Each structure stands twice: as structure tokens, then as C-alpha cells.
Structure 1
Amino acid sequence: MVRVIEDMFGIAVNPMTQKTDRVRRFTLSTERGMSVSILTMGAIIQSLKVPDFNGKLEDVCLGYDDVAGYYRNQQCFFGATIGRVANRTAHGRFKLCGKEVSVSRNIRDRHHQHGGFVGFDSVIWDVVGVHKDGVTLQHISPDGHEGYPGELTTNINFSLNETGCFGMRIEARTKATTVVNISNHSYFNLGGHGAGRDPLYQHMLMIKAQKIVDVDQELLPTGKLMRVRTTPYDFSSLVSLGKRLNQVSACPLGGFDNHFCVDIPPNRVQLVARVVHPCSGRFMEVHTNQPGLQFSTANHLPDEDSADIPNVGKDGVRYVRQGAFTLQTQKYPDAMNHCDFPTIVLNPGQLYDHQVVYRFGACPKRV
């Protein structure tokens, strides 16, 4: 049986109203001890506790203990819901219905990223339903906000079950033709949220993809897809993440931040990725109906071998470069500027339906 408990996480200013608002936290927990905490601020996944093969619980999701932590580190997007459009939009413009649309340029005044200056990660979401296994949050994005046309109503249903499946169903409807590509920006480390770089290198990873989106030096799609076979980007079978990271250490990023084109039939929820941490036995599977997966290794976090200012997270731990990973289900980046990419255009009367299930468990300890 799943329990749903609400408590008060803090107080924040809602940028949509400029009024002070409560930040509510909903914690979903199972009898086996697994739990997930969701905030109304940014529809953020604040905590995700999973047992290892001995039943020991660890929080495997990066985040903060208070509202101030999320404000200080807003550009990390830890656990946040990203929208209207995740990832980058080249030059902050695109054509829609034959007209050019300009959206805010929040990357060096050149490009648009993650919904702009006030994206879905920044607002206080409304609670529209508390259920026996989860909670539903809603945000109404006004017509013209950050430059996007059409009033957009987005509902996210978060749910948990006793088999270790944590699910998100994101649905959106618009009053005028617009673009939508929503994602969740959670960072994970199956050794524990503060375990750091060495345990991350111990992970094994599989992504069901034969291609990645080719990008330029500004991480903007070129419009081409690159085959991954015989390259360090080939995760088509379960391989050592540490080995692959060593293979790309000389690249400009020094790690991974790539969009994988996953091999699934359209609009069917299927397994697209699997991660295993052998030392704890914990594993995580990603099931989705989305055609893409953004995989990154937290290359932007402070380098523990340098004098970078620490990023202090929950329980006072320091989050470090390549101490976590993301597997963000979404459609391809900058899709509105590339006609060969899966469309992200949403018309009135259509339903944007994004489903993702993270299944957690623990493999038996090897003797």
C-alpha cells in the first residue's frame, strides 16, 4: 500500500504572481521503504529513496534541503520539470504556421534554453488532485509567456507503486498552435546522492539507441544524426560508464551531454535505458513513449580537484563534477528548426502525452 503525506517545505515568491506562496511537499512511500518527494515549486523531485540488496535506504536523487538551496543553484535544475521546451533553441527563434516566433534568449543573450528566464522549473504549481498512489500538479502558462504563443495547461500525475515503479504522466493542451517538449531534469547516483565521482564510474549503463543528435560547439543540433556503433557513445548493451567516460575525457566537455534517439515504436511505453550500480545492487530502468533521451554526466558541477566553489546539497554533502547522471526523456532538441526531427508542434484539440516510468530495484548480492 502506498502512503501519501503532505508537509510544508518552505515559502517562495511565485514569479507568475509576484506573491509569496507556500511550497508544499508530497511524499509517496511504499511498505518496502521506497519513497519519492515532490515539491510544488518547479514540480521538483526533491528526494528519491531506494533500498540496496541489504535493504539499506539511500537517497539517489540530487537536491536541496530548503527553498534557498534551489534558489541559489537554480541553473542546476536539480529534479525540476523543464518547459515549455526543454533543451536548446537556436538563436531563440523558429517558424510556426508560416510566422517567425521569437522566444527569450537566456543563454549569453544568444539562445533559448529550458523554457527561458521563468520556465516551468521556477513557478509554483497548483495541486489539483491527491490520489491513493500519488499527486497531480497543474500549471497554466499564459499566451505569450517567454515568447511562446497560446495559453498552455499542463498536468503532471506523479505516482508510485509497490513494485518500485515511479511514474510521471505529463499532459498538456493549448488554446493556440504552439510548441511543447517537456522533460524532468533529475540527477541520479545509485550509490547515493552524495556518493560522488568514483561510485558514478562504477555504474553500468545501457541505452537502446543507434544514433545521437549531432551538435556543434555550442551544443546546438546541426540537423544530422550520428551513428554510435564502434564509438564511445555506444551503450546498446550494458557497459561500464567509467570506461566510456575515460574514452571521452579528452573531448571538449570531458564527459557526456548527448541526446540519444531511442529505438522504440511511436507512442508506446517501452524500456529505453537501464543503469546498474553493482556495489549496492541498485538498478534503475527508464520506460517511456518519447523518442529521445538526454544523457549527461554533470560536467558543469564543481571540480573537486580544483578550487571551484562547492555546491552543497542535501545533508551538507558536496555535489561534484561527474558525480551524477541524467536520463531525461523528451523529443529532440531544437526540433522546431529541423523538419526531419519528430515534431513538437501542438495544436488546439490535440493532447501532449508524455509518459515515463522509472523502475527501481536491487539485484541479489553476489557471493
Structure 2
Amino acid sequence: MENSNTLSGLQTAKFETTVDGKKTQLFVLTNENGCEMTVTNYGAKIASLMVPDKNGKLIDVVTGHDSIEDYLTSEEPYFGAICGRYGNRIAKGTFTIDGNTYNNLAINNGPNSLHGGIKGFNAVVWTPKNNTSDSIELEYMSADGEEGFPGNLTTIVTYTLTNSNEVVIDYKATTDKPTVLNLTNHSYFNLSGEGNDTINDHILEINASTYLPTDNTAIPYGAPEKLEGTPMDFKAPELVGKRINENFEQLIFGKGYDHTYIIDKPLNEYGFCAKLTSPISGIVMETYTTEPGVQLYTGNWMTGNLRGKHDHRYPMRSALCLETQHYPDSPNKPEYPSTELRPGEVYTSKTVYKFTTK
């Protein structure tokens, strides 16, 4: 077993094992600026992301683990992962397509199904394809009936680290039976460096005028509501932690932010989504996507108990997620943009995280 250290300190040998009879490994992507991203085919997870701070020092800005063994036993199974078949929630684990009801989805988040079930795309081994110095293509075939979803679904996710210091995530999927699909990447970011204990001091801007309020199980009520005048509003840049503990029902339900923001752009068009800045490192992350929404999650359920990279602990709100996606429970809400995929159609989606400094 060949072992090499990455710039983040991860050792490739600790990612080389067998899970469910399939080989896992760590892929190292680099660009001409010295940036580095590592990706494991277990869960198609981004394991580390080294980008320069305002002084030119490389900093790892995503949470994660040192080994596959730690990922397998983590209390946080979604670090850096692709979530599917259905990222976010489906109410009561049931939906209907063409008069056929599928009600065997795992109930794994209160009364609802979350992120594709017990063994979603975050917990399977993907097949690596076309690995180059700056990109990796990963493929997974989800069998008809897997986690209760219909259709044999083939998904290809391509990660690219560009010379503009962008992480580009391209998604493509096809099915042989009508199904539902909502893919997202669940990286947890702290732009002051993973292991830093808070994102309350980060400055966040989200290109959204409306959002989806939810019930206390995180299922949207239905119609979008205006953000203006609420502590949910990030249309103008604001400190993440400034209003997070206010006595506002939506913040109480989620223990902080855990909501879908409807991006102010035409449906299916690629456009600006969000901008996050660390006052410590000066690192700026801009998010662009073809998706209609973004789930802001501020790590409200992180405990600090698990062992992260380099023995770091990740306490509550020590990282946040900007999960580009369609809306929660869309299969049960026909007024939302459709998440149905049918035979002969090709699902495509693109999200970019672009890193600069100020």
C-alpha cells in the first residue's frame, strides 16, 4: 500500500480499504496555484480543500475525517458528501408518481425521510472514472427499489479544481423508470480553517428575497415568504451569528438556520447564489449554481464529540453548509419546481464554489 501525505495532512493510505466489497481511495486534485482538493469515492466526499488566505497561506476550509474508518463511524455522515437520491426531506417518507405510491422510504429524521435514507449516496462506494490532475469523475448505479426509490438510476458526479480556484461540481443522471432526484453536496465550510470553533463571525450574503418557512419537522408549509424584515434575511451582507439566537419561530424550530432560500434568478439558469467571508483569513467563497434553491445550514446539531481531522473537534456552529438544490418535499408539492426524472431524460446540474481573498 503506497502512502503519501497531502497538503492538508491527510494520508492516502488511510483511505484505502474495502467497503461493501468495493475499493475505496483518496484522490488528490491540484491546480497551478498550489491549491489542493481531496475526494474519496466513499460517499463521493470532499475530504479536504486547501485554498490561500489573505497572506497566501494555504488553509483547509472543510470539515472531515482522517480515515475511511472514521467516516464509517461518524455521528455526522454527511461531511463533504453527495446526498441522494433525494437531498433534504420528503414528508413522511412517501410520494406518488403517475398514480404509483412509494411509501417505503426510510423515516430517518423525525417523521420524515432525509438525504436519501439510511444508506443514501453519502454512504455508498462510487466507481472512479477519468481521474486527471485536476478532476475526478465518480459514478454510482442505484438499483430499482434501493432505499424505496423507483428506477435503476445512474449518476455521474464530476469534481474539478480550476486554475481560477473554483471547485466545480457537475451532475448528470439517467433512469429507466419515472423517479425523483435531488442531488447536492453537503460540505461543511469554515473559511477561518477547519477546527476553528465558530462561523458566527463569518459575513454571509444570499441572493434571495424569499425562503421556505417550515413546520417543526423541517417540512415547508408551502408558499415562499418574504425575507425582508426578518432575521432570516441575508440579501445584504450580515454576520451569520448576529440574529441566530433571536426569538423567531423559524430559528427556534431549526436551532438556528436550516432553511431553503429561493435564489433570485430564472429557473434552471446558472447564476449567483451566495457569498461567504471570513474576517480572520480574508477568504471569500462565492457560490454559483443552476439549482433554484440553497439550503443554509449552520451546524446547529454539531456536538463537538466526534474526532475530526487532526483530532479537531467540531462544536455547534463551527461550520456551515450552502447546499444548492431543489426544494424539500417537492415530490409532494406540485407547485414547486419538479424533481421528477423520466426515462429518456438527462438530469444535469452545476454548482461552483469560487475562492478569492479580500
How many Å apart are 1:128 and its aligned residue?
A: 1.9
Asked if 1:314 is matched to 2:309, the reply is: yes
Aligned to 2:19: 13
Aligned to 1:83: 84
SS of match in other structure, 1:251: helix
SS of match in other structure, 1:22: strand
Write the letter of the residue equivalent to 1:355.
K
Mapped contact 1:204–1:275 kept (Cα < 8 A): yes
Q: Tell me how large the CA RMSD over aligned residues is.
A: 1.8
User: In the TM superposition, what are the counterparts of 1:284-299 in structure 2 within 5 Å?
Assistant: 284-299=285-300
Instruction: Tell me, in whole angstroms, the C-alpha distance in 2 between the residues paired with 1:290 and 1:299.
Output: 24
Deviations 1:55-86 (A, max 9, x none): 11111100000112111215441001100001
Instruction: Tell me, in whole angstroms, the C-alpha distance in 2 between the residues paired with 1:168 and 1:347.
Output: 23
SS of match in other structure, 2:72: helix
Aligned to 1:106: 107
Mapped contact 2:77–2:122 kept (Cα < 8 A): no
Write the letter of the residue equivalent to 2:338.
T
User: In the TM superposition, what are the counterparts of 1:107-256 in structure 2 within 5 Å?
Assistant: 107=108, 110-197=111-198, 200-247=199-246, 251-256=252-257
Instruction: Tell me, in whole angstroms, the C-alpha distance in 1 between the residues paired with 2:76 and 2:61.
Output: 20
How many Å apart are 1:278 and its aligned residue?
A: 2.0
Instruction: Tell me, in whole angstroms, the C-alpha distance in 1 between the residues paired with 2:109 and 2:234.
Output: 33
How many Å apart are 1:109 and its aligned residue?
A: 7.5
SS of match in other structure, 2:254: coil
How many Å apart are 1:248 and its aligned residue?
A: 5.6
Deviations 1:94-131 (A, max 9, x none): 11011211232232673211111111011110012123
Instruction: Tell me, in whole angstroms, the C-alpha distance in 2 between the residues paired with 1:246 and 1:223.
Output: 25
Asked if 1:55 is matched to 2:50, the reply is: no
Aligned to 2:8: none
SS of match in other structure, 2:69: helix
Mapped contact 2:105–2:149 kept (Cα < 8 A): no
Instruction: Tell me, in whole angstroms, the C-alpha distance in 2 between the residues paired with 1:26 and 1:186.
Output: 17
2:327 pairs with one of 316, 329, 332: 332
Greater fraction strand: 1
Mapped contact 2:96–2:332 kept (Cα < 8 A): yes
Write the letter of the residue equivalent to 1:334.
D
1:323 pairs with one of 318, 341, 357: 318
How many equivalent pairs are there?
346
Asked if 1:41 is matched to 2:36, the reply is: no
Instruction: Tell me, in whole angstroms, the C-alpha distance in 2 between the residues paired with 1:362 and 1:132.
Output: 24
**TM-score normalized with structure 2 length:** 0.93
How many Å apart are 1:257 and its aligned residue?
A: 0.6
Aligned to 2:267: 266
Mapped contact 1:248–1:254 kept (Cα < 8 A): no
Write the letter of the residue equivalent to 1:259.
T
Write the letter of the residue equivalent to 2:17.
I
Which structure 1 residue ranges, 4+ long, deviate > 6 Å from structure 2? none
Aligned-pair identity in percent equals 35
Aligned to 1:353: 348
Deviations 1:287-336 (A, max 9, x none): 00000100011000116xxxxxx122000011000111000000000100
Instruction: Tell me, in whole angstroms, the C-alpha distance in 2 between the residues paired with 1:244 and 1:11.
Output: 44
Mapped contact 2:108–2:118 kept (Cα < 8 A): no
User: Which structure 1 residue ranges, 5 or more long, are not aligned?
Assistant: 1-5, 304-309
Aligned to 1:307: none
Taking a change above 3 Å as real, the CA distance of residues 240 and 356 of structure 1, as seen in their structure-2 partners, is same
Deviations 1:138-172 (A, max 9, x none): 00000111111110000011101111111000100
Instruction: Tell me, in whole angstroms, the C-alpha distance in 2 between the residues paired with 1:248 and 1:206.
Output: 22
Mapped contact 1:103–1:112 kept (Cα < 8 A): no
Asked if 1:257 is matched to 2:252, the reply is: no
SS of match in other structure, 2:87: coil
